[in-house]
Amino acid sequence: MPTAISLRGLSKHFGQVRAVDELDLDIADGEFFSMLGPSGSGKTTVLRLIAGFEEPTAGVIMLGEEAVTRRPPFARDVNTVFQDYAIFPHMSVRENVEYGLRVKKVGRPDRRRRAEEALETVRLAGYADRRPHQLSGGQRQRVALARALVNRPRVLLLDEPLGALDLQLRREMQIELKEIQREVGITFVFVTHDQEEALTMSDRIAVFNEGRIEQLASPVELYERPASAFVAGFVGTSNLLQGRVARDLLGQDGTFVIRPEKLQMVAEAPAEAGRVSAPGVVREVVYLGAATLSVVELDAGPTVTVSHQNTDTSIDAALERRDQRVVVTWRRDHLVSLGSSDPAASPEEETA
């Protein structure tokens, strides 16, 4: 597949801070590509470098076959959906959407038609004559999307576009964005710090940490086979077993992670081959609606989180387990080995 964007040795330093550090990345044509990471990890800077709002300290940005590294934003075939939408408040919805065509001197009838089409694509047909202040947050977000899509750019850059929406609307927009992307077939580069959002929508995800890519993989691979403790902690919740604990429990050196839903709590250790069991005490039970999380302090030392689907009508049994002794058990092949990675790289807190 031809590449839409190639980054080679891309760096951006702000004074002493290396916001982006020697980045190499290829994004394929028509891909829904997400850049995921905590704030300050450099993902937004990469987006701004591609858009042309920042000049790189070093490296090359290729858009298709063209090197656009030093080109101003208006001479690049990319468009951006901004985090604050950046809708022009003094223009109507139609004028906003037509803006890009207007400055490129597209004729009025053609402009009209394409703006109508773009508004239809984002399900805002009939809103053309509204003023931005009459729109809700979700509608403004759609206007921003239409304003960018109407130019049919080679690549659409989205900078946390759903961040300001409430949860319900965000979930709807996630599905809709994915549909729109399939409809128009434009490469989407999507920046987010929300791992669920990235998993829901993306073809591939790059997890950023301190200006570098920690892992570049499909959502399934990222979740099931995290490459580092950082990725394991940032994407979903995970339990980390390392050092002496790994040796005691698993009889192996190294660092291992396992997802909470792969763990089970039982009364007695099963005598099944290929299973690992560890006794402990339930310290906390958290009811989440669809699932219940139990925090178990293992006798071997670490605390692990066990997720249990609430398929029974009553969860009283789970709640009663607080301060009870249990055995946590899991299949050996569910463990993901991180090799002997540097434990310092793991994030301070597990991110749910």
Partner 1 sequence: MIDRRPGLRVGLLLTPPMLWLGVAYLGALAALLVTSLWTQNDFTGSIERAWTLENFRTLFTVDVYRTITLRTIGIAALVTVIDVVLAFPIALYMAKVASPRLQRILVISVLTPLWASYLVKAYAWRGMLSADGPIAWIARPFGLDTPGYGLPAVVITLSYLWLPYMILPVYAGLERLPDSLFEASADLGAGAWTTLRRVVFPMAFPAVVAGSIFTFSLSMGDYIAVKIVGGTGQLLGNVVYDNQGAANNLPFAAAVATVPIVVMLAYLTAVRRTGALENL
Summarize as ranges the residues that interact with partner 1 (CB under 8 A). 51-53, 72-74, 78-80, 82-84, 86, 88-90, 99-100, 103-104, 147-148, 151
Least Å distance, CB 100 to partner 1, is: 4
> In terms of CB distance, is 15 or 89 closer to partner 1?
89
Number of H helices, E strands in the chain: 10, 18
Angle between helix 108-121 and helix 137-149 axes, rounded to 10 deg: 130
Sign of the CA dihedral 308, 313, 317, 322? Answer: positive
Residues 6+ apart with CB under 8 A from 220: none
> In terms of CB distance, is 22 or 116 closer to partner 1?
116
Least Å distance, CB 157 to partner 1, is: 9
> In terms of CB distance, is 97 or 306 closer to partner 1?
97
Least Å distance, CB 162 to partner 1, is: 16
> In terms of CB distance, is 88 or 287 closer to partner 1?
88
Least Å distance, CB 50 to partner 1, is: 11
> In terms of CB distance, is 41 or 80 closer to partner 1?
80
Least Å distance, CB 83 to partner 1, is: 8
Question: 94-101 contacts: CB < 8 A, separation 24 or more?
Answer: 94/119, 94/128, 94/129, 96/132, 96/143, 96/147, 97/128, 97/143, 97/146, 97/147, 97/150, 98/150, 99/147, 100/147, 100/148, 100/150, 100/151, 101/150, 101/151
> In terms of CB distance, is 7 or 47 closer to partner 1?
47
Least Å distance, CB 73 to partner 1, is: 4
Using alpha carbons, list the distances in angstroms from residue 112 to 20, 100, 106, 133, 139: 40, 12, 10, 22, 20
Least Å distance, CB 339 to partner 1, is: 42
Q: Give the neighbor-by-neighbor strand order of the sheet with 336-337.
A: 239-242, 255-258, 336-337
At residue 54, the 3 state secondary structure works out as coil
Task: Region of 59 please: left (phi>0), alpha (psi -120 to 50) or beta.
Answer: left
> In terms of CB distance, is 149 or 282 closer to partner 1?
149
